[in-house]
Amino acid sequence: MQTHISFTPDFINPPPLQLPSREIGASVEFLGIVRELERGQPLAGLDYEAYIPMARQELARLFTALQALHPCAEVVFIHRLGWVPVGEASLFIRVLAAHRGEALRFLEAAIDRMKADVPIWKRSASAIYQRK
């Protein structure tokens, strides 16, 4: 499986789809977008930080583990860092596989495990303000 993991301070532009083989039957893409209402509080955006070298390593480990459960051909992971305004994506994941079931299972489990174990943090502007 090819894996591409990156972090960017900029607007996420999903890279053009390039199929690694003629055996790809499914491409599943996920964009996580910052919403205005989080726990009932209106937000202007969220601020993200990451422990980048460890996040890379945890993601690589996680993708390898998931690959054994849900064989896929390629995963592209892009997480934005710094300030992300409402309506823009903080996260992009693309999974390519022979079959849609594996791509969907992989994607869903990757997001769940990322949210549990990968050292990335979001904070609302109000939370950041309150700490001062």
Partner 1 sequence: MQVKVLAFAQMHDQLGFREHLIDCSPDETPRAILSRIAPGFAPGSVRVALDLAYAEWDSPIGTATELALIPPVSGG
Q: Which residues bind a second copy (CB under 8 A)?
A: 17, 19, 22-37, 86-87, 89, 98, 100, 104, 107-108, 111
As a whole number of angstroms, the distance between CA 41 and CA 7 comes to: 27
Stretch of 11-19, 63-71, 101-109, 120-128 lying at the interface with partner 1 (CB under 8 A): 120-128
Alpha helices in 1-132 (DSSP H): 52-69, 100-117, 125-130
Tell me the residue type at 14: P
Q: Is 12 a residue that touches partner 1 (CB under 8 A)?
A: no
* Partner touching 86 among a second copy, partner 1, none, CB below 5 to 8 Å by kind: a second copy
Q: Is 106 a residue that touches partner 1 (CB under 8 A)?
A: no
In 3-state terms, what secondary structure has residue 54?
Answer: helix
* Partner touching 71 among partner 1, a second copy, none, CB below 5 to 8 Å by kind: none
Q: How large is the greatest C-alpha to C-alpha distance in the chain, in angstroms?
A: 55
Q: For residue 28, how many other CB atoms are within 10 A of its CB?
A: 18
Interface positions, 21-60, toward partner 1 (CB under 8 A):
32, 48-51, 53-55, 57
